[in-house]
Amino acid sequence: MKLLALSVLVLLCGLLEVQAEGYNGYKVYQVTPKTLQQADILHQLHEDPEFDFFQDAKLLGQPMSIMASPRVQQYFETTLANLTHEGLDYTVTTEDVQKVLDEEYADFVRRNASRQAGARAVFDEYISHAEVLAYLERLEREHPEIVRLESIGRSTEGRDLLLIHIGSGRPNAPTIFIDAGIHAREWIATPSALYIISQLVENPAHARLHQNVNWAIIPAINPDGYEFSRSSVLNRLWRKTRRPNQGSTCIGTDPNRNFGYQWNTGGASTNPCSDIYAGPEPFSEPETDAIRRYFINHYTEIKLYVTIHSYGNYILYPWGFTSELPRDALHLQTVAEAAARPIEAASTLGSRYTIGSSTNVLYEASGGSDDWTKGAIGVDLSYCFELPGGGSFGFNPPVAMIRPIVEETFEGFIALGEYIASLYG
């Protein structure tokens, strides 16, 4: 297909980063492939920096949400029109991405300016990384008997990668490790982690959850990318880290393609301009390397790993690099279903979760953190939670949706905590 040739040409051009110009004229398409050939053509665009997949689809007949730059729209639309004769459906859902972002970002700026520093509702707003750290530090001061903070490293721009330990600290107690915000634009992940922390520390009704289980949580593992996505409406959809790439004008690596298990074997890119760039080598990013070093020192204690993302209502488990299932897939599926049931029962949003291995449920993506924790470290129960989306593009739920999402998500972590306590405690 000519579309594939165009993609290759674009990849070779080393195009400038989107944030230099914003998203003026970018369109979002809802495309529903009906044949395997159509799906394959679309999936090959993943590595092309001119396209951004807001929502993918594994099954034929499910819609994809794809953003395309003005440089490729004419050819993309011509190709899609030709494919409609073979049953493909598509429509333009957003004519100008920047215009929509401008409208939504104005509300974000207004709400930010209306609140006094230190007076924020931690999980009712999208707060800054500095405010995240201030909240964790307050918890340590007020609850020293169960809270201990640890810096596991610093980001490229020098921000603290602060991990909070919650529990009795009993040696050899099983540990649940959670990270959130690895993709910068997935803002809802961080308040979800903060709500888990709040309920464990500040709500006596949940004290039982840390009596026999220790929790280690990093609510903002990609702080540079997160702050960059907050810094301007032009950067709102930023996904990667912020480390400069040698020999390229394009900045950043997809940290969830940067882990060193089956690194860059599929569903990742070697192009620094791509949103799924795997980096020059495994653990090239200080953020992913900090997680690596922590796990190497604590792997015997960690019994459950969860990385919180958005969006799409998925609970995913390895593998992401292959469609083959791990030997204990039935166990992974059963535990995930036990977590999904209370989430769905508590949901006021009508949330329903799809559960399965990453490649089979969503798409191939090598170098992910959950593959690495299971395949390289040996944490049997390793998951990726893709939370509900909202707003115009899924990655931007309005603040009114934050509390419903974080509250229902916590119900799943109650189930996971109780399971780990019963299994290992």
Greatest pairwise CA separation for the chain in angstroms: 66
Buried b (16+ CB within 10 A) or exposed e, 366-386: bbbbbbbbbbbbebbbbbbbb
- Residue from 186, 227, 386, 408 carrying the catalytic annotation: 386
CB contact set of 206 (below 8 Å; sequence gap of 6+) = 199, 200, 414
Closest to 362 in 3D by CA, of 406, 403, 318: 318
Does 386 qualify as catalytic in the annotation?
yes
Closest Cα partner for 332 from 269, 411, 393, 416? 416
Query: CA-to-CA distance for 240 and 182, rounded, in angstroms?
Result: 8
Phi, psi (degrees; rounded to nearest 5) at 374: -80, -50
CA within 13 Å, CB half, 205 = 4
- The number of CA neighbours under 13 Å toward the Cβ of 366 is 19
Q: Which residues contact 417 (CB under 8 A, 6 or more apart)?
A: 176, 209, 210, 213, 215
**124 in Cβ contact with 404 (< 8 Å):** no
CA 183 → CA 52, 138, 222, 366, 404, distances in Å? Answer: 14, 26, 7, 15, 21
- Cα 20 to Cα 350: distance, rounded to the nearest angstrom: 38
Cβ neighbours around 335 below 10 Å, total: 23
* Spatial distance between the Cα atoms of 367 and 297, rounded to a whole number of angstroms: 21
Assess contact for 218 and 179: CB atoms under 8 A: yes
CB atoms within 10 A of CB 17: 17
Residues with catalytic function: 386
